[in-house]
Chains A and B, each alone.
Chain A
Amino acid sequence: MKNFSFRRFFAYLQKERKQIWRDPSTFLIAFVLPLLMIFIFGYGVSLDAENVPLGLLLEDTSPTARSLENAFLGTRYFNVKTSYDRSALEKDLTGGRLRGIVTIPSHFSQNLLRGVPAPLQVLLDGSEPNTAKFVLNYAQGVVSNWNVQQIIERKSSLIPPIAPAPRVWFNEELKSRDVLLPGSIAIIMSLIGTLLTALVVAREWERGTMEAMMSTPIRIHEMLLAKLVPYFLLGLGSMTLCVFLSVTLFEVPFRGSYLVLFLSTSIFLLAALGLGLLISTLTRNQFVASQISILTGFLPAFILSGFIFEINSMPAIIRAITYLLPPRYFVTILQSNFLSGVIWELILPNWLAMFIIASFFLGLAALNTVKRLD
């Protein structure tokens, strides 16, 4: 950087700072939206289903059937509505007021006594597959626990041969909030790094002020750097706010290192900013830039990052795409750094991947900006 002039750089930086300061929408996206998201993830959104409305159709009212009914009533996962009227329950299922119906068939206890298989019927609402699978899994859980209970009652000496002793590391109570809040930082950083930057620079192209700037003595790398620095700092400020709220207000454990958090966020922001610059330089139009930012920045952070949806469960092609975008690496580091502490073997490869993507985007952005000057 022989030709780097700090005077020019700071002058340009000053201009950018003023521009950000003047427009309240920057703060809307950097501070208000993160607050909103942290509150929604902290209070509202939860993957931990409880009290799912379930209908229980009793065609058999023997004590055995009643005992099974009690097993369903006793679990916090279901909010059970017992009924003897099949059509009323089915109507509630179709109307979305029940998520499933468990039928204890007639002659249930008689069949059990005689050793004839007596399967329970479970009806599910397939239009909500997540809930349907949940109901099926937990109904199976209730029934198999009840089975074991029955065996023990009959033969008190009997013990199940294999005694599973499950332990959950890093998040003993499996609270989804503790996983979602750290992950949401990646979404906010994507918005600031990619969407905001793409819009701001696209506007300069749209209005022609970019060309005007290029006719001044400022060098291209000074200009790019001056564009990056304010949004980089804005991103770090927003990250600090998110971490502070998550840890203090929502008591998400923080077992890792703040330095690792800071460095990871920095590398991710570089990649996001590089993508934002690249988009704006290529599109030079705010509408187009916003659409591409959503497609390549926001949605991958939301959906292709492992933040809510498990990457390993996706089809192979989509799994391959997730490797090309930075959010998956960042979300992995965020969740680990909060919950499990610093695991270098996990952090270093993810840093490297993000670093390569960041250099690629930034290099491409610089290259394209220079070319467009001709």
Chain B
Amino acid sequence: MKNFMEIYFRIKALIIKEILAVWRDKKSRLMLIAPPLIQLIILSHAATLDVNNISLGIHNQDSGWYSHELIQRIKGSPYFRHVYEFKTPKDVQRAIDIQDVIVSLQFQQDFSRRIAAGQPAPLQIVLDGRKSNASQIVMGYLNLILQNFNIDILNYQGVDLPESIDIEFRSFFNPNIDYIYFTVPSLVAILSMLLALTVTALSVSRERENGTFDQLLVSPLQPWQILIGKMTPAMIISLCESTLLMILALVFFDVPFKGSLFLLYSSMIVFLLSIVGIGLFISSISHTQQQSILGTFVFMTPTMLLSGYATPIENMPTWLQPFTNLLPIKYFFIIIKGIFLKNMPASEVFMHTWPMALIALFTLSLAGWMFKKRLE
């Protein structure tokens, strides 16, 4: 019992020391709080693949009703913000070139006349391929407007058409397909991960750079005790951080929270443990803080790209998809969105938690082994 208490006090002392190492300095303290909040606010609105506020250029040589009506319909669409008219084809081309507009329409002189005469009227559409994603979506919007207009023209001309089919849609979990519901929970996961990773990655390498790590190694602390002492502060800091971010998500962004707080926190602890394990591993192989920060980046960048946040995992080639199973955040994305929006049941949460637990076990043992190796 005495022995146990002794171990407890030793680890506690180390934990307090670790927390003070980041918390003591005013600038570092600010860095723990301010950037994640700024990032959450800016990125939640910026990081969407949604396309609106579209600028469109028009070169209209036709003075008839049909082109005029089509332009009015485009202007009335919620997606098209600016519609500019140009005098010559060259001006339109220039507007695309210098990215004043992303798409242009060119009406021939006989556009309305041909339609009225029942002949097909060609409409030239030019899209800017330098914005491949936006161009595709813009073309989709335009096609819909054109198809509806076509049907209205035929009806107006008294052509007897078969009933055409409309689409009614309903969106589960997010009735208005609001991007904030997706970006905010995802960012809570990303920002907590970033913080847990940097705090742990720096914790060992800072001591090594200052030469105090050797002192720690000659102290009566066992390697596993050092490991716990390094882990716990990072866990505490990042759990506080994610709590702060979640409060912001609920109060400021009005993201619904449908699931269980208990399930969220238990899976989050497993997630953060796996990240802390990776951070400690990076830290244990780095000699300087610079190396550990850069090492963190070499981990972070591919993780962000392959996690399914920016682009869906289904779009990736099939041989690459298994690799995403090694990324803890992939599972936690599913869980955090599931609990926020879908009230995900415990069984499903567990299904996505155990792979993270496995990763945590592996990375933490690896880091512990590295510490032990240092000692020998």
With the chains together, A88 CA to B310 CA distance in Å?
Answer: 29
Task: Tell whether A120 pairs with B168 under 8 Å between CB atoms, given A112-B162, A164-B123, A166-B125.
Answer: yes
Known contacts A94-B172, A314-B46; A126/B297 CB under 8 A? no
Chain B residues 153-172 with CB under 8 Å of chain A are: 153-154, 159, 161-172
Contacts of B122 in A (CB 8 A): 163, 165
Which residues of A from 180 to 239 have beta carbons under 8 Å from B? 187, 191, 195-196, 199-200, 203
Is A115 in contact with B166, judged by CB distance below 8 angstroms?
Answer: no
Q: What A residues does B144 contact at CB under 8 A?
A: 140, 144
One digit per residue, 1 when the CB lies within 8 angstroms of any chain B CB and 0 when it does not, for chain A 83-126 equals: 00000000001111001000000000001100111111111111
Instruction: Verify B25–A285 contact, CB threshold 8 A.
Output: yes
Interface residues of A in 306-339 (CB under 8 A from B): 306, 308-310, 312-315, 318, 321, 332, 335-336, 339
Take A93-B172, A158-B159, A286-B293 as given contacts and tell me if A127 and B182 are in contact as well, using a CB distance cutoff of 8 Å. Answer: yes
User: Given A40-B302, A112-B162, A126-B341, A45–B311 Cβ distance below 8 Å?
Assistant: yes
Residues of A within 8 A of B181 (CB): 126-127, 129
Q: Is A2 an interface residue (CB 8 A)?
A: no
Instruction: Tell me whether B28 and A121 are in contact (CB under 8 A).
Output: no
Q: Does A37 contact B (CB under 8 A)?
A: yes
With the chains together, A283 CA to B27 CA distance in Å?
8
Instruction: Assess whether B50 is interfacial by the CB under 8 Å rule.
Output: yes
Interchain CB contact (< 8 A) of A129 among B124, B153, B182, B302: B182
Verify B99–A346 contact, CB threshold 8 A: yes
Chain A residue contacts of B38, Cβ below 8 A: 295
Interface hit among A7-15, A49-57, A363-371: A49-57
Would you give the shortest CB distance from B291 to chain A, in whole angstroms? Answer: 4
Tell me the smallest distance from the CB of B67 to a CB of chain A, in Å.
10
Contacts A308-B310, A318-B42 hold; do A44 and B169 have CB atoms under 8 A apart?
no
Kindly state whether residue A25 has any CB partner on chain B within 8 Å: yes
Does B135 lie within 8 Å of A291, measured CB to CB?
no
Task: Write out the residue numbers on chain B whose beta carbons fall within 8 Å of the beta carbon of A247.
Answer: none
Contact with B along A146-171 (1 / 0, CB 8 A): 11101100110011111111111111
A129 touches B179 (CB 8 A): yes
Q: Provide the A324-362 mask, 1 if CB < 8 A to any CB of B, else 0.
A: 000000001001100110010110000000000000000
Q: Does A139 contact B (CB under 8 A)?
A: yes
Q: Which residue of B lies closest to A321 (CB)?
A: B42
Once bound together, how far apart are the Cα atoms of A168 and B30, in whole Å? 48
A47 on the interface (CB 8 Å rule)? yes
A291-B198, A332-B99 given; A203·B129 CB < 8 A = no
Contact of B143 among A133, A144, A287, A345 (CB under 8 A): A144
A27-35, A258-266, A267-275: which one contacts chain B? A27-35
- Whether A339 pairs with B288 at a CB distance below 8 angstroms is no
Contacts of A304 in B (CB 8 A): 42, 46
The answer to whether B76 has its CB under 8 Å from any CB of chain A is no
The interface residues of chain B lying within 8 Å CB-to-CB of A43 are 317, 320
The verdict on B247 contacting chain A, using a C-beta distance below 8 Å, is no
Interface residues of B in 107-152 (CB under 8 A from A): 115, 118, 120-137, 139-140, 142-144, 146-147, 149-151
Are B297's CB and A119's CB within 8 A?
Answer: no
Q: Which of A50, A131, A294, A336 has the most CB of B within 10 A?
A: A294
Is B72 among interface residues, defined by CB-CB distance under 8 A? no
Docked Cα-Cα span, A115 to B164, in Å, equals: 9
- A81 contacts across to B, CB distance below 8 A: none
Q: Does B337 contact A (CB under 8 A)?
A: yes
Encoded as 1 (CB less than 8 Å from any A CB) or 0, chain B from 72 to 85 comes to 00000000010000
Bound-state CA distance A143–B147 (Å) is: 11
Q: Tell me, in angstroms, the Cα distance from A111 to B163 when the chains sit together.
A: 9
Closest beta carbon of chain A to B240's beta carbon, Å: 16
CB pair A147–B164 under 8 Å, yes or no, is: yes
CA distance A272 to B171 in the complex (A): 43
Q: Is the interface of A mostly helix, strand, loop or mixed?
A: helix
> Would you call B315 and A143 a contact (CB within 8 A)?
no
CA distance A345 to B99 in the complex (A): 10
Chain B neighbourhood of A50, CB < 8 A: 315
Residues of chain B contacted by A249 (CB below 8 angstroms)? none
- The residue in B30, B94, B166, B295 that gathers the most chain A C-beta atoms within 10 A of its C-beta is B166
How many angstroms from the CA of A298 to the CA of B39 in the assembled complex? 12
Assembled-state Cα–Cα distance A298/B293 (Å): 13
B174 CB to nearest chain A CB (Å) = 3
B266 adjacent to chain A (CB < 8 Å): no
**Which of A116, A129, A200 lies in contact with B174, CB distance below 8 A?**
A129
| Residue-wise interface mask of B (166-200) relative to A, using a CB-CB cutoff of 8 A (1 in contact, 0 not) | 11111111111111011000000000001000100
* Cβ-defined contact, A124 with B170, below 8 A: yes
Q: A23-B291, A165-B124 are in contact. Are A179 and B42 (CB under 8 A)?
A: no
- Apart from A45-B310, A123-B170, A288-B28, what 15 extra A-B contacts exist at CB < 8 Å? A28-B298, A37-B301, A47-B133, A49-B312, A49-B314, A51-B314, A123-B172, A130-B49, A137-B140, A144-B144, A162-B66, A291-B31, A304-B42, A312-B53, A313-B48
10 example contacts (A-B, Cβ-Cβ < 8 A) are as follows A25-B290, A120-B168, A121-B170, A126-B181, A127-B181, A139-B167, A168-B128, A169-B129, A286-B289, A288-B27
Those 6 A-B pairs whose CB atoms lie nearest each other, nearest first = A126-B174, A171-B129, A126-B171, A25-B291, A170-B129, A122-B169
- Report which B residues bind A (CB closer than 8 A): 22, 25, 27-28, 30-31, 35, 38-39, 42-43, 45-55, 66, 70, 81, 94, 96-99, 102, 115, 118, 120-137, 139-140, 142-144, 146-147, 149-151, 153-154, 159, 161-179, 181-182, 194, 198, 202, 206, 286, 288-291, 293-295, 297-298, 301-302, 304-306, 310-312, 314-317, 320, 334, 337-338, 341-342, 348
- List A residues at the B interface (Cβ < 8 Å): 23-26, 28-29, 32-33, 36-37, 40-41, 43-53, 68, 93-96, 99, 111-112, 115-133, 136-141, 143-144, 146-148, 150-151, 154-155, 158-172, 174-176, 178-179, 187, 191, 195-196, 199-200, 203, 283, 285-288, 290-292, 294-295, 298-299, 302-304, 306, 308-310, 312-315, 318, 321, 332, 335-336, 339-340, 343, 345-346
